[in-house]
Amino acid sequence: MASVPTSTTRRRLPLVGRRAFQFVTALNVFALSLIVVSGGVVRLSGSGLGCPTWPQCGDGSFTPHSEYALHGAIEFGNRVVGLVVGAVVLITPIMALRLRSGRRRDLTLLSFGLWLGYLGQAVLGGITVLTKLNPVTVAAHFLLSMVLLWNAVVLDRRARQGAGPVTPAVAPALLWLARLLVVVSAGVLVLGTVVTGTGPHSGDSEHPARFGFDIVNVSQLHADGAMLLTGLVAAMAFAVRITAAPAAARRDSLTLVAVVIAQAGLGFAQYFLGVPCGLVALHMTGATIMWVVALRLWLAMVARPALATAAG
């Protein structure tokens, strides 16, 4: 008589090495940054309703109809990028559960956090289409991407550290400055969505939906926030060089200085040149990079135990 497979004889997924998991966590950061940029291209090209239905791209088809032309192709391309991101996000918690070095609660929770965030993005994307690109839902779509990036950056950092208590690697004042820098960065991102939702690039070239704010006033408010952020970044770059700070914090502070200066130049240029699409795309890309580097700088201010060298 044939034996019945038991739970101990069933085939299980192979164990995952440390380096493979670290590669996937870094890939999450890259992929989630890429989807922000591709979403920006959709908006700036007026292709937000290039696929007028969701999840299909038109009635009865998941691919764009010929009558949707270039706008449909751009929106469909963004959805394809979203599926690739989803595949990366999908395998991350599975790998976290099968780590050769042992399952870790922090890595597992952060990995499943990416799952939840991605599902939220899918739902919010559908709502954005159904509401005909209402600026509130469009802004929420971008800001949720920033939350997902926060999750991914923290996960990538934790995957390169051991389990155990966190200890400050800098003086308390410097740690608080890093936290304030992240908060102000988030505020600048929120103000940026208000400016974009008030300006000319609505995502729909035929029936734009906009906030009813004065573009000059909201642009000035955004510029004020950016100037505050620039001052904090300059203070941070100076502080990490006159106090004991990790080498990673010093490197990231210099990177952040360069990114913020470039962002300020792009912001003023696009305002005085009438908000051309190319500069807006660069500004959005820079905002994403700024956010990632600001988070990395904040995380570099604390230390955790090193990974065991025997872990695969």
What's the whole-number mean pLDDT along residues 86-102? Answer: 91
Mean pLDDT of 230-255: 94
Name the token pair of 55. 């999840």
More confident residue, 254 or 74: 254
Q: What is the pLDDT of residue 184?
A: 96
16: β partners: 99
DSSP letter string, the chain: -PPPP-TTTS--PPPB-HHHHHHHHHHHHHHHHHHHHHHHHHHHTTBTTSS-SSSSSSTT-SS--GGGHHHHHHHHHHHHHHHHHHHHHHHHHHHHHTBTT---HHHHHHHHHHHHHHHHHHHHHHHHHHTTS-HHHHHHHHHHHHHHHHHHHHHHHHHTS-SS--EESS-HHHHHHHHHHHHHHHHHHHHHHHHHHHSS--SBSSS-----S-HHHHHHHHHHHHHHHHHHHHHHHHHHHHS---HHHHHHHHHHHHHHHHHHHHHHHHHHTT--HHHHHHHHHHHHHHHHHHHHHHHTTEE-PPPPTT--
In the numeric block, which tokens belong to residue 61? 């088809």
- Give the separation between CA 195 and CA 79, rounded to whole angstroms: 25
Flag whether pLDDT at 4 surpasses 60.
Answer: no
Q: What is the pLDDT of residue 127?
A: 86
pTM of the model: 0.85
Q: Is the model's pLDDT at 235 over the cut of 90?
A: yes
Query: Which comes out higher in pLDDT, residue 294 or 271?
Result: 294
131-174 residue pLDDT tens = 877 888 888 888 999 999 999 999 999 999 988 888 999 999 99
Count the Cβ atoms, other than its own, within 10 Å of residue 296: 20
**What pLDDT score was predicted for residue 73?**
66
Q: Which residues contact 84 (CB under 8 A, 6 or more apart)?
A: 31
Checking if the pLDDT of 76 tops 50, the result is yes
* pLDDT reported for residue 175: 94
Residue 30 pLDDT exceeds 60: yes
pLDDT computed for residue 209 by the predictor: 60
In this prediction, residue 152 carries a pLDDT of 97
Q: Which residue has the higher pLDDT, 46 or 184?
A: 184
* Per-residue pLDDT band at 9 (split at 50, 70, 90): very low
| Listed residue (181, 204, 193) closest to 146, CA to CA | 193
pLDDT confidence of residue 269 = 85
